[in-house]
Amino acid sequence: VYGLLARMYLYMENWQKAIDYASLVIDSTSLSEGQDYLDMFLKIENDDESLFKLNGNLKTPYLNKFYTLEAPLAIA
């Protein structure tokens, strides 16, 4: 929740509150280093560093649309 609040205040240009909430997120957990950092992107399960993650267990062709750019179906 603190990460989302930090992002919200960042978009609202409330810099001090964005810093405050981002600091709470950073200070609340230890960060991965080296190979552990790279492995974080390959794991399907959630971990302490993920603020938002799509479920990698979902086997559907429609999730691909979240990860790729496509041309629009129609032009107005």
* pLDDT (tens digit per residue) in 39-53: 766 666 666 666 666
Domains of the chain: total: 1
Residue 73 lies in a domain: no
In a domain, 18, yes or no: yes
Identify the band that residue 1 occupies on the pLDDT scale cut at 50, 70 and 90. Answer: confident
The burial class, CB within 10 Å (0-12 / 13-18 / 19+), for 6 is buried
Domain contains 23:
yes
Instruction: Give the pLDDT score at 74.
Output: 60
Higher-confidence position of 48 and 6: 6
How many Å apart are CA 55 and CA 45, to the nearest integer? 8
CA 72 to the chain's CA centroid: 25
For the chain, give the mean pLDDT. 74
Q: Is residue 74 in a domain?
A: no
Domain assignment present for residue 76? The answer is no
Domain that holds residue 62: 2-67
In 3-state terms, what secondary structure has residue 68? coil
CB 40 within 8 A of CB 52: no
Mean pLDDT (whole number) for 50-59: 64
Confidence check: pLDDT of 12 > 80: yes
User: Does residue 72 lie within any of the structural domains?
Assistant: no
Residue 41 lies in a domain: yes
Structure tokens at 70: 């496509």
